[in-house]
Structure 1
Amino acid sequence: METFHWKIRPDMTMEAEPQVITVKMGDGYEQRRPAGLNSNLKKYNVTIKVRKGEHQRLETFLSRHGGVKSFLWTPPYTWTKIHVVCRKWSVSVGALWVTCTTTFEQVVI
């Protein structure tokens, strides 16, 4: 399994939306439970800025995985590698730098 090794910009955001099954009873009472074993997978909105020339390796890496194959990535605030997929990305090309904006979705394999 390949590892994503590019550094990401410090303005990363993380989204968490735990999946919950809720059963509503009378008088406002409700029961809640997690929707499965892995009900709290995260999404990371990341920006990668690389020099021109390096961007081809980055795009090749993302294209090779194509939103289907997962890869390992270490979020910057943890030391634990997680499995993620990248379903889409956008690229902005400047004079010297290329900026890639994408979302990494945590998956379980």
Structure 2
Amino acid sequence: METFHWQVAPNMSEKAEPKIKTIKLGDGYEQRIRDGINNDLRSYSVTLKVLREDAQHINDFLTRQGGLHAFKWREPNSHRLITVKCPSWTSNVMNTATTITATFEEVVA
């Protein structure tokens, strides 16, 4: 499994949306339980500001994964090495620099 080693900008956002199952019982009562053992996987919106030549390496890496294959990434806030996939990314090419915005979704395998 490959590792994403480029540094992301510090203004990264992290989304937590635990999966739960809810059963409505009537009279306003409901029962809630976790949906699976890995129900609290995170999603990250990351930005990379790099030189144009580095942007090509990042685009090549993400294209190789194709949104399908998972890769390792060190989450900047906790410094944990986690497994993620990248289903989408955009590149904004300027004169000498490129800004890449990507979504990293934590996965189990």
**Percent identity for Structure 1 against Structure 2:** 45
Deviation of 1:26 (Å) = 2.5
2:42 equivalent to 1:42: yes
Unaligned runs of 5+ in 2: none
Deviations 1:22-81 (A, max 9, x none): 111122121110001111111000001111111111110000000010000011111211
In 1, Cα distance between equivalents of 2:34 and 2:83: 21
State the TM-score, normalized to the length of structure 1: 0.96
**Helix, strand or coil: the match of 1:32?**
strand
**Partner of residue 89, structure 1:** 89
2:51 equivalent to 1:51: yes
**Helix, strand or coil: the match of 2:77?**
coil
Please report the RMSD computed on the Cα atoms of aligned residues, expressed in angstroms: 0.8
Unaligned runs of 5+ in 1: none
* Amino acid of the structure 2 residue aligned with 1:15: K
Structure 1 segments (4+ residues) deviating >4 Å: none
In 1, Cα distance between equivalents of 2:80 and 2:16: 17
In 2, Cα distance between equivalents of 1:5 and 1:89: 16
Structure holding more strand per residue: 2
Total equivalences in the alignment: 109
State the TM-score, normalized to the length of structure 2: 0.96
